[in-house]
Amino acid sequence: MEFIDLKTQYRVLKKEIDVGIANVLEHGQFIMGKEVEEFEKELGKYVGRQYVISCANGTDALQIIYMAYGIGMGDAVFCPDITFIASVEPACMLGATPVFCDIDPKTYNICTNSLEERIAEVIKVGKHKPKAVVAVDFLGNPADYVKLESICNKYNLILVEDAAQSMGASYNGKQCCKFGHSATTSFFPAKPLGCYGDGGAIFTDDYDMAKLYKSIRVHGKGASKYENIRIGSNSRLDTIQAAILLPKLKALEECEMVARQKVAKFYNDAFEGKFVTPYVQEGAMSSYAQYALLAENKQERDEMVRRLTKANIPNMIYYPYPMHTLKVFENIDYKKANFVNADSYCERTFSLPMSAYITQEEQEEVINSIK
Ligand SMILES: *Cc1c(COP(=O)(O)O)cnc(C)c1O
């Protein structure tokens, strides 16, 4: 059994993927070939964003946004305590200070009460300027953008949606990648929409920001490539990856997201009352990038991991450590805060095999192994 069954997906989409790759090998436009533009257009249509700027990976996508907004020394960037470090790492690289917020005990996304407390704290200390919030749709579950937008408006903060895990998810009738001033995603192979290497994208409806992102993507180019007008980076999506992503996007839209809901429901029905099953708020749909359960406590979680591993069932912990406990952040400001929900989550969480292609027999095997 695979944790994320990319092999079956390839078998299903093999013809289109192989033809797409062969076409790129034939035309030879390996960088910024026509498939890149076509993919950006299709993706924009799917998520309902005006501008899609593909790039080399999800971390770069965030970095390009932070660079475009001039985030750096003296700025505070607020981020949930449970995420992958890439959500905030590029801001730190630019000199900004990360401020971690506790998570909501039900959705595991950034807790908006904790966020407001942390903003107040930064203002009170007076050492940093509250600048941006990076909200993460954790495990594919959309964050609370109604509250987040109102908080960001109130304090004049840039809102960035890190949708690396939530391609295909939606909230209040809008697709993920549609929230915030700008959003980002990742095409790392294991994400809900993955390529066969690294890839990422930025989304915005703001023409000027889109222009800036495109410039920073290619060495801060101006009207032409060798007319550089700012410091940028080299962060492009390979044409071959775009050719792979085109049929994968179609499959996500046409059947994979529906299949993922079914798989999640099958697990939910089996585990209801025995573990804490994923909570998706009213009006939201998760992409279930991961299917995570919460055990009663650490001992029970560790026992479930033992049972799964003993039965040869792949399993993971997303994530074992909250951000505030990582060594890399041991000397940052605003380290002390209340992270009860994040701490408890990390001790109790474990994730099961999940993909659009897992069979019911495989799911039953997973369920039986831990019952
Ligand atoms: C995967 C991921 C990223 C980074 O994406 P890469 O393409 O691996 O650079 C950023 N944020 C979150 C929440 C992720 O899960």
pLDDT score of 295: 98
- Average pLDDT score over residue span 162-168: 98
| Phi–psi pair at 185, nearest 5 degrees | -140, 170
Residue 317 burial by CB count (10 A; 0-12/13-18/19+): exposed, middle or buried? Answer: middle
Q: Which residue has the tokens 């200070």?
A: 97
pLDDT bracket for residue 86 (50, 70, 90): very high
Q: What is the pLDDT of residues 268-297, one digit of tens each?
A: 999 999 999 999 999 999 999 999 999 999
Query: Please, are residues 122 and 149 in contact by the beta-carbon 8 Å criterion?
Result: no
CB 249 within 8 A of CB 43: yes
Look over the chain and give the mean of its residue pLDDT values, rounded to a whole number: 97
Helix segments in 207-238, DSSP class H: 207-217
368 C-alpha to ligand 1 centroid (Å): 32
Residue whose Cα lies nearest atom 11 of ligand 1: it is: 87
Q: What is the pLDDT of residue 88?
A: 97
Probe residue for ligand 1, chosen from 4, 55, 87, 319 as the CB with the greatest number of ligand atoms within 8 Å:
87
List pocket residues of ligand 1, CB cut-off 6 Å: 57-59, 83-84, 86-87, 136, 162, 164-165, 186, 188, 198, 200
Tokens of 58: 């999800």
pLDDT class of 337 with cuts at 50, 70, 90: confident
pLDDT for 256: 98
CA of 237 to the centre of ligand 1 (A): 15
Q: Which atom of ligand 1 is nearest to the CA of 188?
A: 7
Q: Which atom of ligand 1 is nearest to the CA of 289?
A: 15
Say if CB 259 and CB 357 are below 8 A apart.
Answer: yes
97 CA to centre of ligand 1 in angstroms: 19
Kindly give the number of the ligand 1 atom that is closest to the alpha carbon of 165.
15
Kindly give the number of the ligand 1 atom that is closest to the alpha carbon of 198. Answer: 7
CA of 166 to the centre of ligand 1 (A): 11
pLDDT above 90: residue 172: yes
β pairing state of 129-136 and 75-80: parallel
- Given this model, what pLDDT does residue 335 score? 86
Residue with CA at minimum distance from ligand 1 atom 14? 164
With pLDDT > 90 as the criterion, what percentage of the chain qualifies? 98
Cβ contact 278:141 at 8 Å: yes
| Digit-coded pLDDT (tens) for 118-154 | 999 999 999 999 999 999 999 999 999 999 999 999 9
Q: Which atom of ligand 1 is nearest to the CA of 60?
A: 9
Average pLDDT (109-116) is 98
Report yes or no: 102 and 341 within 8 Å, Cβ to Cβ. yes
How far apart (Å, rounded) are the C-alpha atoms in residues 109 and 145?
11
Residue 26 reports pLDDT greater than 90: yes
